[in-house]
Chain A
Amino acid sequence: MKKKALIFILFFFIINNLRAENNLEDWLSSKEYRFAVYMSKCKIEQLNGQYRNCNIFNNLRYKILVDNFELGKNFKEFK
Chain B
Amino acid sequence: MRVFFLLILVFFLNSCLLTGETSSLRESYKYSCLAPSMNYRSLDAKHSTKIHLVAWAKKYAVQAVSSEFKIEDKCSHTKILINALYTQNDGSILSWVNEKNNTSGKIKILKTIYDTRANSVSISGGFRGCREYSSRLIKNGEVSDYKFLACPSALGWGVFDDSSGFPIPAHLVFAGWHFYDYRFFK
Contact digits for A2-46, partner B, Cβ 8 Å, 1 yes 0 no: 100100010000000000100110111010110111011010001
Neighbouring A residues of B112 by C-beta, 8 Å: 65, 69-70
Which of A33, A52, A73, A77 is within 8 Å of B32, CB to CB? A33
Stretch of B46-54, B138-146, B159-167, B173-181 with 4 or more beta carbons under 8 angstroms from chain A: B173-181
The reply to whether B128 and A33 form a contact with Cβ atoms under 8 Å apart is no
Interface residues of A (CB under 8 A from B): 1-2, 5, 9, 20, 23-24, 26-28, 30, 32-33, 35-37, 39-40, 42, 46-48, 50, 52-62, 65-66, 68-70, 72-75, 77-78
Q: Is the CB of A39 within 8 A of B175?
A: yes
B residues within 8 A CB of A72? 89
Contacts A5-B4, A27-B31, A36-B82 hold; do A59 and B120 have CB atoms under 8 A apart? yes
Count of residues in B whose CB is under 8 Å from the partner chain: 38
Q: Which listed segment binds A: B36-44, B60-68, B69-77?
A: B69-77
B79 touches A (CB below 8 Å): yes
Known A32-B83, A40-B32, A48-B121; contact A24-B72, beta-carbon cutoff 8 A: yes
B31 touches A32 (CB 8 A): no
Contact of B89 among A2, A46, A69 (CB under 8 A): A69
Asked if B176 contacts A53 (CB within 8 A), the reply is yes
Inter-subunit contact A27/B33 (CB<8 Å): yes
Q: Which single residue of chain B is at the shortest CB-CB distance from A69?
A: B112
Q: Which one of B8, B153, B174 lies within 8 Å of A36 (CB-CB)?
A: B174
If A52-B123, A69-B90 are given as contacts, then 9 extra A-B residue pairs at C-beta distance below 8 Å, sorted by A number, are: A27-B75, A40-B175, A55-B176, A56-B86, A58-B128, A60-B114, A60-B129, A68-B89, A69-B109
With A40-B174, A70-B90 known to touch, is A55 a contact of B75 (CB < 8 Å)?
no
Contact among A56, A57, A62, A78 with B116 in the assembled complex (CB-CB below 8 Å)? A62
CB distance from A69 to the nearest CB of B (A): 4
Q: In the bound complex, do residue B152 and residue A75 qualify as a contact, i.e. CB atoms below 8 Å apart?
A: no
Chain A's nearest CB lies how many Å from the CB of B99?
Answer: 14
